[in-house]
Structure 1
Amino acid sequence: MYMSRPISIIIDSTILKDNLSIIRKISFNSKFWAVVKSNAYGHGIRYIWKLLSDADGFALVELEDALFLRKMGYVKPILLLEGFFEKNELEIFDRYHLTSCIHSEWQINALEHFKFSAPLDIYVKFNSGMNRFGFDFKDFFVIWNKLRSLKSIGDMTMMTHFVNVDDLNHVKDTRRYISSIIDDYKIKCCFANSAVILFSSYFNYDWVRSGILLYGLSPTGNYRDISKYGLKPVMTFSSKIIFIRDINIGDILGYGNYIVKEKKRIGIVACGYSDGYPRNISISTPVSVDGVITQTIGLISMDTLIVDLTYCPKADIGSNVELWGNNIGIDKVACMSNTISYELISSLSSRIPISLK
C-alpha cells in the first residue's frame, strides 16, 4: 500500500459535539442552524455532518452539499443562505424540500411563476447596514405582504446579518426598529450569527445560526472571548518532518534569499501554500514539533515549509509538526499572516486527508 504525504486534518468528534451543546445552552430556547458552508469551514462536511445531528438544521451556500445531505438521508431543514442563483434551480428546491433565502426582486418574480408541488419555506433577508444582500427595511411591508400572498410560500422567517455588533448604538437602533415590526406581524426571526450569540443575545429570537463558533474559533479573532464558555478548537492541522539539515552562517534558505545569521538545525515539513498554509506569513510564526514550540524560517514553498529545530534536539524524521490546533492557536497564525481564522480554515486544500478521532 502506498503512503500519502504525512499531512492531515484531525477532527475531534467529542469537542465538536460538546461545542454544539454549549452553544445551544447560551442560545437559550432558540432553534439552531449549524452552518456548514465552505466544506464545513474546512472541517469536511462529509465527515462531520452526522456529529451535528442534534442541530435543528443545516445552513450552507453550496447546493451540491445540500443534495449530498438529502441523499444521505438527512430529513431536517436545510437552508441555502444565498438562496437560488437561477430560476431553474427551483425544481431542485421543490424536489428536495430545501429552504431558500430570498433577498432580491428577481427571486420573487421567479417564485411567482414556478409551480411548486409543496409550499416552499423561505428566509426573507433585509439589509441592516452591511449592504451585501437583502431588501431595504423601508420596503418591509410591501415585500413581506407580497411574498405572504403567494400560495406557493410556506413558513416565512425574517433574516438579517449585522455589520458590527460592537457598535451598540447601531445595534440598539436596529433592534428598536425591528422590534416594532415583529410586534405588529408576530413573525419568526433569525438574526443571530456567532458574534451576536456571544455579545447580543437579545437578538436570538426563534433561530440562531452558528458557524465559526461551532468549530471552537472566535468570531473576534481572540480565543479568550470564547474560552470562558468551554468552547474548544475542533481541528488540528499537522504534518511531519521529512528532511533535516544543519546549516551555517551565510547559507540561503529556500526562495527569497533568506540568509542565515547563525548556525541552525532545520527541518523540512510536508506542508506548503498549495495545502492552504499562507505564503505571506511572517517569518518566525510559531509551530509545535513533538510538543515543543519553535518557529518557521524563510518563505513558504508550494509543498514545504522550514522550521527551526535548533532547540528541538530530539526532533527527527517523522516528528509531528502542529501548524495549528491545541498547542498553536489559529488566531496567532492568522495574525502572523495578516488575515483571519475564517480564511485559513476555508482555504485548506482538498488534497489534505481528514480523519475523525
Structure 2
Amino acid sequence: MMYRPAKAFIYLQALKKNLEQAQALAPKSKVLAVIKANGYGHGIERVAHHLSHADAFGVASIDEAMLLRQKGFLHRILLLEGLFSESEIPVVIQNRLDVVIHSEHQLNWLLNSKISIQLNIWIKVDTGMHRLGFDIQQLASVIAKLERSENDFCIQVMSHFASADETSEHSNLFTEKQIERFEDCTCQYQYPRSLANSAGLIRYPQSHYDWVRPGIALYGAGAIPNSDFTSLAVMQLESEIIAIKTIQVGESVGYGNTWVAQRKSIIGVVAIGYGDGYPRHAKTGTPVIINGQRFPLVGRVSMDMITVDLTDMSSQANIGDSAILWGQELSVDEIASFSGTIGYELLCGITQRVPMIEVQ
C-alpha cells in the first residue's frame, strides 16, 4: 500500500523503557499507567500491550475501558472521571472496572445500587486543583457512607496535582501545600492512596504513596527541567520533501504572504500539515530536521504542506529527503512551544490519515 509521505513511527521499546524508569523511581508503589485519549494519540491497544507490566490502566470513560476488555486485557482499569450516568453501573460490574467518585451524585448512584461484586472505589478529594473532587472536609463522611453500605466497596483515596510540572517558586509551594493537605486528610486511614502524576513521580518522591499515575512521561513528552528522568520519545512524526523552489528577494511564501525572502532563498515543501495534526499555529522559525540539520519553517502551515527555508543547508537537498517534525531528535515539547500549546495536544492530535508504523 502506498501512503502520503507523512508517517508516525511508534518506538515500542521506548515505551517499555519509560515504564521501567517510572517503576524504578517509585519502587514501593504500584503503577497505574494512564492510557486515555487513545493512548495519548499512540493507539490505546498498542500502548496497553506494551505497558502490560503496569499494575493498572487509567482511562477516561467506559468506551475506552470496554475496548481494552474486548481485546482481552485483564488489568485493573480505572475510570478516571467516574460514572457519567447511573446506567453505567451494570457495565462496570460486568467488566470489573475501578471507579473514581468525585461528587455526591456519583456516590449516591453507587449507594443506591445493589452491587454483587467487590467494587474498587477511588475517592477523589480536591486539594487545590478545583476541578473534580470532594472537599477535604467531606472525606470522612464519604468514607463512612461507603463503609456502612451493604455493598462491598474496596476504598482507595486519590487527588490530582495542579502545577507539579511548573518550576516557579509559587508552583513549588502550591504543590507542597497540596501534598500537605492530602497527607492531613488521609493519614488517619489505612486505605491505599494515590497522588503523583508524571511530574509528581519525577519531582516529589514524598507524593508517591501506594500508587503513582504516570501519563505523559510514558510517551516521552512533558520534560521536567533539571531532572534525572530521561523520558524517551515514543512517537516520531516524519514526512518528505516533495518540491524545492528558488525564490528571489522580496518574494513571499504561502498563504497571506506572511514570510518574505530577505535574500535569494531555497524553499523545501514538506508533505505535512494541519490535516495530519501538525499545528497550524506553528510560527516561522519552528525547527524541522532534514538530513541531520535543523531548518526553520517559514510562512503559514497549510492543510497538507509546510515550507522550510533550506538556504543554509551544507549539502544539497533532494526530493524525497526525510523531514522529522518531532521525535527522538526533536522534542514534541519544543514544537509545542513554537505553537502556543503543549506536547500533549500535538500527540493526541495526529489524524487518522497518518499511518502509525510500529518499530520494535
Which deviations, in whole Å up to 9, do the C-alpha atoms of 1:221-250 show, x marking residues without a partner? xxx444x33322111111111122222222
Q: Distance in 1 between matches of 2:249 and 2:177?
A: 61
Match of 2:201 among 197, 201, 209: 197
Deviation at 1:343, TM superposition (A): 1.7
Where does residue 182 of structure 1 map in the other structure? 186
Amino acid aligned to 2:238: S
Give the whole-Å Cα distance in 1 for the aligned partners of 2:178 and 2:243: 57
- Is the CA contact (8 Å cut-off) linking 2:4 and 2:271 kept in structure 1? yes
Deviation at 1:99, TM superposition (A): 0.7
Q: Verify the 8 A CA contact 1:272 1:301 in the aligned structure 2.
A: yes
SS at match of 1:23: helix
Q: Secondary structure at the match of 1:142?
A: helix
Instruction: Give aligned pairs, total.
Output: 352
Matching residue of 1:278: 279
**How far does residue 322 in structure 1 lie from its aligned partner after superposition?**
0.2
Change (3 A) 1:265 1:134: same
Q: Tell me the equivalent position of 1:251.
A: 251
Residue 217 (structure 1) aligns with: 221
Q: Does 1:90 align with 2:92?
A: no
1:150 deviation in Å? 2.2
Q: Distance in 2 between matches of 1:46 and 1:187?
A: 31
Q: Do the aligned residues in 1 keep the contact of 2:223 with 2:231 (CA within 8 Å)?
A: no
Find out whether 1:67 has 2:69 as its counterpart: no
Q: Which residue number corresponds to residue 336 of structure 1?
A: 338
Please tell me whether the aligned partners of residues 35 and 47 of structure 2 are also in contact (alpha carbons under 8 angstroms).
Answer: no
State the distance in 1 between where 2:73 and 2:186 align: 31
Aligned partner of 2:118 in structure 1 is 119
Q: TM-score, normalised by structure 2?
A: 0.93
Q: Deviations over 1:286-321 (max 9, x none)?
A: 100122211111000011111122233432121110
Q: Does the CA contact (< 8 Å) of 1:97 and 1:120 recur in 2?
A: yes
Measure how far apart 1:173 and its partner are: 4.0
SS in 2 for 1:121: strand
Match of 2:269 in 1: 268
Q: AA paired with 2:283? A: S
The 8 Å contact of residues 119 and 151 in structure 1, kept in 2 or not, is answered as: no
What is the rounded CA distance, in whole Å, between the counterparts of 2:81 and 2:223 in structure 1? Answer: 21
SS in 1 for 2:89: helix
Structure 2 residue identity aligned to 1:216: G
Provide the C-alpha distance between the structure 1 equivalents of 2:71 and 2:184, rounded to a whole number of angstroms: 42
CA–CA distance in structure 2, aligned partners of residues 169 and 48 of structure 1: 34
- Partner amino acid, structure 2, of 1:157: Q
**Which amino acid in the other structure matches residue 321 of structure 1?**
A
Instruction: Name the counterpart of 1:35.
Output: 34
SS of the residue 2:157 aligns to: strand
Contact 2:221 2:331 in 1 (8 A): no
Residue 231 of structure 1 aligns to a residue whose secondary structure is: coil
Name which of structure 1's ranges 168-177 and 151-160 shifts more when overlaid on structure 2. 168-177
Gap change, CA 1:291 and 1:170, over 3 Å in 2: closer
- 2:98/2:122 contact within 8 Å kept: yes
Whether the 8 Å contact between 1:13 and 1:51 is mirrored in structure 2 is yes
What is the letter of the counterpart of residue 327 of structure 1?
E
Percent identity at matched positions?
A: 36
Partner of 1:306: 307
- Please tell me the root mean square deviation across aligned C-alpha atoms, in Å: 1.7
Q: C-alpha separation between the residues in 2 aligned to 1:241 and 1:187?
A: 56
Contact 1:248–1:260, Cα closer than 8 Å, also in 2: yes
2:10·2:42 contact (CA, 8 Å) conserved in 1? yes
3-state SS of the aligned residue for 2:132? coil
* Residue matched to 1:110: 109
What displacement does 1:177 show? 4.0
SS at match of 1:32: strand
Q: How does 1:108-147 map to 2 (within 5 A)?
A: 108-147=107-146
**Secondary structure at 1:288's aligned position in 2?**
strand
Given the alignment, which residue of 322, 325, 350 partners 2:324? 322
Q: Mind listing any 5+ residue stretches in structure 2 that lack a counterpart? A: none
CA distance in 1 between counterparts of 2:118 and 2:262 reads: 69
| Deviation string, structure 1 residues 14-51 (Cα, Å, up to 9, x no partner) | 11111111110111210001111111111121222211
Matched-pair contact (CA < 8 Å) for 2:101–2:122: yes
CA deviations over 1:143-197 (Å, ceiling 9, x no partner): 1111222232431110101223354444444444433443322111011101111
Distance 1:133 1:121 in 2: 19
SS in 2 for 1:275: coil
Q: Using the TM superposition, give the Cα deviation of residue 11 of structure 1 relative to its aligned residue in structure 2, in angstroms.
A: 1.2
User: What does the per-residue CA deviation read over 1:304-353, in whole Å, with 9 as the maximum and x for residues that have no partner?
Assistant: 11112223343212111000112222222111112111222122212211
Hey, what's the Cα distance between the residues in 2 that align with 1:268 and 1:153? 62
Map of 2:16 onto structure 1: 17
Structure 1 pair 153–264 and aligned structure 2 pair: CA distance change class (3 A): farther
Q: Is the 8 A contact 2:125 2:158 kept in 1?
A: yes
